[in-house]
Structure 1
């Protein structure tokens, strides 16, 4: 049995189902009873779906109807042509045509026709199965496209999650591309906790987040805390640039098996009324049920916008923050806000945080450790280079020290001299001060 066998069998099953319903409607047969779908246990998406989900015939048929145009285009047109060779309208079947796709696209009305015919109660059951409250909608498997005001709700297209189609076709789901529709990029690091020198208090608080990620499912499900505790975890990382906020988020993901996505708030926030909410909605809809870590870098751009309402702009800015608060509080994964200063974050959101973690400028002993661990072993140090002296004299962040190290390493290779003395090191440090507009 190949990995495509279940897909082929499922497509054949739903095609026979639609054909049987059309034969009944056009009087070719008096009754049609769909045969049960028999799947083979393999690693295909359909095989896992049927095995892992307690899928009824209705839900499975809805899913396959939505998948037909993606996996077997033209089936509906071919079946209709057998009964209506001259063409014509068939409003009972519903359906629509796409802007670039010329074949039949099933709608909610199509699902009602195939699964219930003209039976009113059966049609209501199909509509109920497609509602946002049922598991197909809750799990973002399948939904009916929203329609314009005044049009029947079930006249919207059946939309299947694109990731399902991608996995069926390619065997895997890639990371979503960074775009206006998905304003976040996947971030990861080859580094480890041993490569990051943090204040002990900061590291201890991050360890608490690791504990939440590891034990949250047990706490919520087995210990019955779901009805008392809101889903998800919300944390604020605050401190100067270069103190390890982003790297800590990446390491949290690396060591807990979670994907980390950095949200670009400049792509999220729009000057057009209502667009910010749409951008945020697309982001959270994509992340829902995946347990991604969402890292909002430079969170001040949105989370500090709430002000007294003086004009229409203030009113809508406050609405944007209120909407974001709502979506973050309902998100079942980890959300991290990053800011240079704690005071920049709106108090209304701070009260909703489980953790507020400082990332201070490294102290002298921590700077010494960073210098010692960061500098390449291939570069020999002259006798006048003392890391403890350098650490005591220069109050630099981890990112500053890395920049200095990078510059020194390149210069050592360019000069074909794998040794550095204090004068060369001080020159590189002075260059870093100048870059940041500081005086050495």
Structure 2
């Protein structure tokens, strides 16, 4: 199946590259006033892909892209799939022996070939036709699918330079779609400071008090019906996009697991951003780090889970110096991006009191994750052990649940310790002593004793 997708894309992209070659040939000829049958680059019709089932063809049809959009997409993809095609634009200064280009492109130290810019597009499709140049700006305006879906864009340039000097970039997702046909999920890096949350557990494995489950049901309903609410019911004019919620409670009470299971249950990817690691002391870096996540998340239906929310949304103090003002700018930026995001945003904190009241009012729900009750602890103990083991005769789960006040994460840690000690004895029967030792270790973490 993967091979089929690759082959279908290869055929269409090859045809598209040949079309691009023809356009470049015509532009070069027109530029030196050669006599040719074609009087305009737009006389070269793009290949017919109306019946193709490649990822590239589906992308073009889904957005009803025409000549200009197809040209921009294939031009932006060339440095990744056939960089030598644009070498025709690179020239060498006979005096200095330096490489240069007169066609708006860039020559990077990391890339030996020609990197197209907005000016490259203008040169090839518009030349000196000002009306056409002005029309070609539209694909890079905010209401165009290129911008709304982060398909193709121009990199930022300084204020003193035309935005058309920005390098032409294509999203990795689109590049995957039109080449291998398999869109890879982004991985954690400096360019994407978020991690995909995954779990092998199911929603039925989640053990929480009824009040918490009731609030989570409201979030689940929003995930199922928010598009219908906003579009079919025309509520986009009255409601803010997206849904914002705060999960708060002691460590190990299920905040991260619940976020993972909401995604697993409804088919959404969940990405965890640890704000304590994302916030930077350097001016502007925090905003850049967060922008990388939100820019990729646009129109992806991702659930964004911000852990350690106290790092930015803690109680505010009076503004005394430049550091305080900068911290407020970071908060303002994150609030703006959260409010503009049309998906589910979950912020997590150990204590509700750590979050400023002004921020709490912006959340649709505030969900408490308390330490589980004795009954809930009993259910957690029952579900925690492997099916491959047996419990010793002295193991009393009711006694454990009633005696030791532990969160779900701590119970899992204690079970892991007891299970490892059992395996080290070449046994499958878990003893009460090993469980108690595991509990003791968990108590010591929090400065408590059994």
Whether the TM-score (by the shorter chain) exceeds 0.5 is yes
Answering whether residue 27 of structure 2 is matched by residue 21 of structure 1, we say yes
Please tell me whether residue 282 in structure 1 is matched to residue 256 in structure 2: no
- Mapping 1:30-179, distance limit 5 Å: 31-32=39-40, 33-39=43-49, 41-78=51-88, 91=102, 93-179=103-189
Q: Which residue of 440, 446, 449 corresponds with 1:436? A: 446
**1:26-64 CA deviation, whole Å, 9 max, x = no partner?**
112361312143115444331111221111211221222
What is the aligned residue count? 436
- Cα distance between partner residues in 1 of 2:99 and 2:364: 61
Quote the residue 1:390 is aligned against.
Answer: 400
- Please name the residue that 1:293 is paired with: 303
Per-residue CA deviations over 1:350-379 (Å, capped at 9, x if unaligned) read 111111100000011111111122233444
Contact residue 176 and residue 183 of structure 2 kept, 8 A: yes
Instruction: Provide the rounded CA distance (Å) in 2 between the counterparts of 1:258 and 1:116.
Output: 42
Distance in 1 of aligned mates of 2:262 and 2:215? 12
In structure 2, runs of 5+ residues without a counterpart are none
Instruction: Determine if the alignment matches structure 1 residue 5 to structure 2 residue 11.
Output: yes
TM-score by length of 2: 0.91
RMSD of the TM alignment (CA)?
Answer: 2.3
1:88 to partner: Cα distance: 9.5
Question: Aligned to 2:146, what secondary structure does the other structure show?
Answer: helix
Q: Distance in 1 between matches of 2:433 and 2:112?
A: 72
**What is the correspondence of 1:250-261 to structure 2 with a 5 Å cutoff?**
250-261=260-271
| Correspondences of 1:338-377 after superposition (within 5 Å) | 338-377=348-387
* Partner-residue secondary structure (3-state), 1:170: coil
- The range that moved more, 402-411 or 243-252, is 402-411
The change in CA–CA distance for 1:114 and 1:386 in structure 2 (over 3 A counts) is same
Task: Provide Cα deviations, 1:188-219, integer angstroms capped at 9, x if missing partner.
Answer: 00011222211111112112111111111111
Q: Separation in 1 of the partners of 2:143 and 2:358?
A: 29
**How much has 1:390 moved relative to structure 2?**
2.0
- Quick one: structure 1 residues 347 and 28, their matched pair in 2 at CA, closer, same or farther if it must change by over 3 Å? same
Task: Give the secondary-structure state (helix, strand or coil) at the position aligned to 2:136.
Answer: helix
Residues in 1 aligned to 2:49 and 2:433: alpha-carbon distance in whole angstroms: 73
- Counterpart Cα distance in 2 of 1:319 and 1:308: 14
Counterparts of 2:320 and 2:249, CA distance in 1: 31
In 2, the alpha carbon distance for the partners of 1:345 and 1:375 equals: 36
The 5 Å alignment of 1:216-227 reads 216-227=226-237
Instruction: Tell me how far apart the structure 2 counterparts of residues 17 and 424 of structure 1 sit (CA, whole Å).
Output: 74
Which residues in structure 2 correspond to 1:318-333 (within 5 Å)?
318-333=328-343
- Structure 1, 28-37 or 309-318: larger mean CA deviation: 28-37
Deviates most, 409-418 or 204-213:
409-418
Q: TM-score, normalised by structure 1?
A: 0.93
Q: Flag as ranges the 4+ runs of structure 1 deviating above 4 A.
A: 86-90, 420-424
1:425, distance to aligned residue in structure 2 (A): 3.4
Deviates more, 1:271-280 or 1:297-306: 297-306
3-state SS, counterpart of residue 221 of structure 1: helix
Return the alpha-carbon distance in structure 1 between the equivalents of residues 88 and 438 of structure 2: 72
* Residues 133-186 of structure 1: CA deviation (Å, up to 9, x unaligned): 422112111112222231222122212223322333333222222122211111
Cα distance in 1 between the residues matched to 2:311 and 2:420 = 36
Residue in 2 aligned with 1:409?
Answer: 419
